[in-house]
Chains A and B, each alone.
Chain A
Amino acid sequence: MSTRTLSDAVREPRWARVLLTFTALGFLGLFVGAPLVTIFAAALSRGAGPYLAAIGSADTWAAIKLTLLVAAITVPVNTVFGVAAAWLLARYDFVGRRLLLTLIDLPFSVSPVVAGLLFVLVCGAHGLFGPWLSAHHVQLLFAIPGVVLATAFVTFSLVAREVLTVMLAQGSREEEAAFTLGASGFQMLWHVTLPKIRWALVYGVLLCNARAMGEFGAVSVVSGHIRGRTETLPLHVEILYNEYNFVGAFAAASLLAFLALVTLAARRVLEGTDE
């Protein structure tokens, strides 16, 4: 057990350190490690055959494809939005800056179910834009566009938050230096700003992707649970579980858990290269 760079004055006695370590690790094992192992154990409880069959079923495949599609749309959109918003918030003082800062936090503070309900209220048949939408034959709710919009809403601040923190800490002196050396706005963005924020950006994108693929609450409300059409992986897990198809449910869940592990591993690797 190394003590890093603590001075003697603030270092706890040995028994306290051991106690703290065991408490932290024990808690982690109980609430994170054990469930993770359970998912894979339950998924493989009848062997590899049923597991692969469950993953290969038509409905599961449809759910996987929709999940990938939703992520493929929301992640790039939120990345562009996130960088633009962080840029604006870090560099400029404008009317409404505080409002934008607060709104960026909204998806964090609002329950995803509420977010989904908001979409229903705004876009539903009796909602604000419902009549207009149906008059123009636009089907948002209980269709793929609704799933994409709800996911985009829930994940829209993840990239912005990560990038904003780094931009605020770094200030804009290096950008000014680039200008004085003759850089255009685009050259400055490409040669100075993006390299400076790249790890925060990549990490934000990873988080955004993980959340986009794993989102349940908001998507559950707006999707209408149309099997094979508007069901993402998390929704599919719930349906299979409710039908007592445990191997199927856990097999689908294992895909999501695997995604989470890959995200965490990627983060570790990135943090390693950053230092």
Chain B
Amino acid sequence: MSVVIEGIDKRYTQGDSPAVHDATLRAASGGVTALLGPSGSGKTTLLRIIAGLETPDRGRISIHGTDVTKTSVRERGLGFVFQGYALFSHLSVRDNIGFGLKLKTLPSREIARRVDELLELVQLRELGQRKPNELSGGQQQRVAFARALAPKPRVLLLDEPFGALDAKVRLELRRWLRALHAQTHVTTLLVTHDQEEALELSDQVVLMNEGRIVQSGTPYQIYDQPVSPFVASFIGNASLLRGSVDDGQAELAGIQLDAPPGIPSGSAVLAYVRAEEVTLARAPQTNVEVSTVRRIASRVEVEVVLADGQRMTVQLSRIEADALWLQAGDRLRLDLGKPRIFLAP
């Protein structure tokens, strides 16, 4: 196990609720671990604690089996890519990338060779002499990666690496980062609030909320087996339905389903239904009425009203929607698939 943190607590001001509480996680060597959560969930604080930029109140951090809890930032040997890049504005791209190497007092020829290598890796060979403010956001981001990778860090820490970029560049850089990781295999921890980014880039997702780690697992586990209503509502595009359970059968707005084991008869339940996992069909026996149809480029979002007046969103592809000739006021048959059902608090 490469990066292990145990029981980390951090409180910025006495009396406030903790920024991070009792965080324990293991990030596998050579893998990508995503710290995912809404803003203010403590994920950036946790990353900065791992980097040594913040001191935890309690807990232990070890990297490759060595306890580094008391080790200073500079001796931890980590690469950090900051949100908003934090490039040295007075230095050229080459000098930015070579900064960490110069501090190691390597011979200048070796520094030049390594900087060339990195410029090649981040595809900025022509731009070595530019200043950071003469580059686009995506280019600056790649310089930040090259600078962090130059001293060959044991672990790469990324804080919202694509946060400040527009949607198209984000997507490009995401692909680029996957390819980069396939080449370097450096152990990576990534902080993001974007679930798609986390689910696409990582082998392990650590989901945080209000300073606590609420679930960790592979992207599939997080997506398919949410452990709490928070996870179920945060991941994917889920609608909430309220219902009840009786004798192992859940009833949601007149629709009967198998209830998960362990929910006592007569209790109220919350069901999270993913918009992309349900189907609509024309059938003699209908159970929903279409209230609005929104066409968003290649997909169609349909809002439906269930028998007892509860509403939910269904996502269809344009082809599916066109085949149904969907219009507001249509009565259709809805199949809920396998919603995640939790005992109501």
Contacts and interface: CB of A to CB of B under 8 A. Distances in A.
Contact of B53 (A180, A183, A187, A196): A180
Contacts of A89: none
Interface string A180-198: 1111100100011001100
Given A187-B103, A195-B90, A180 B51 contact: yes
A177 B103 contact: no
A196 B132 CA distance: 14
A196 B91 CA distance: 10
Nearest to B147: A181
Contact of A177 (B77, B82, B151): B82
A181 B86 contact: no
Nearest to A170: B89
Given A179-B53, A191-B99, A184 B74 contact: yes
A183 B74 contact: yes
A174 interface: yes
B79 A180 contact: yes
The dominant DSSP class at the A interface is helix
A180 B73 contact: yes
B78 interface: yes
A253 B99 CA distance: 50
Nearest to A195: B90
B148 interface: yes
A12 interface: no
A271 interface: no
Interface string B140-164: 0000000110110000000000000
Contact of B100 (A181, A184, A195, A196): A181
A52 B267 CA distance: 104
A181 B151 contact: yes
Contact of A180 (B84, B87, B90, B148): B148
B272 interface: no
A102 to B, nearest CB: 23
Instruction: Name the interface size band of chain A.
Output: 10 to 19
Contacts of B150: 181
A177 B78 CA distance: 11
B27 to A, nearest CB: 17
B74 A177 contact: no
A178 B78 CA distance: 12
A176 B147 CA distance: 13
A179 B82 contact: no
B84 A173 contact: yes
B80 A182 contact: no
Interface in B11-64: 51, 53
Contact of B78 (A180, A191, A195): A180
Interface in B67-100: 73-75, 77-80, 82, 84, 86-91, 99-100
A181 B79 CA distance: 7
Contact of A174 (B51, B88, B103, B151): B88
A130 B103 CA distance: 52
A92 to B, nearest CB: 14
Contacts of A179: 53, 73-74
Contacts of B87: 174, 177
Nearest to B72: A179
Given A174-B89, A176-B53, A177-B88, A183 B103 contact: yes
B109 interface: no
Interface in A158-180: 173-174, 176-180
Contacts of A187: 103
Given A177-B88, A182-B100, 8 more contacts: A174-B87, A176-B86, A177-B87, A180-B51, A180-B79, A181-B147, A181-B148, A192-B88
Interface of A: 173-174, 176-184, 187, 191-192, 195-196
28 contacts: A173-B82, A173-B84, A174-B86, A174-B87, A176-B53, A176-B80, A176-B86, A177-B80, A177-B87, A177-B88, A178-B88, A179-B53, A180-B73, A180-B79, A181-B74, A181-B99, A181-B151, A182-B75, A182-B77, A182-B103, A184-B74, A187-B103, A191-B99, A192-B88, A195-B88, A195-B90, A195-B91, A196-B89
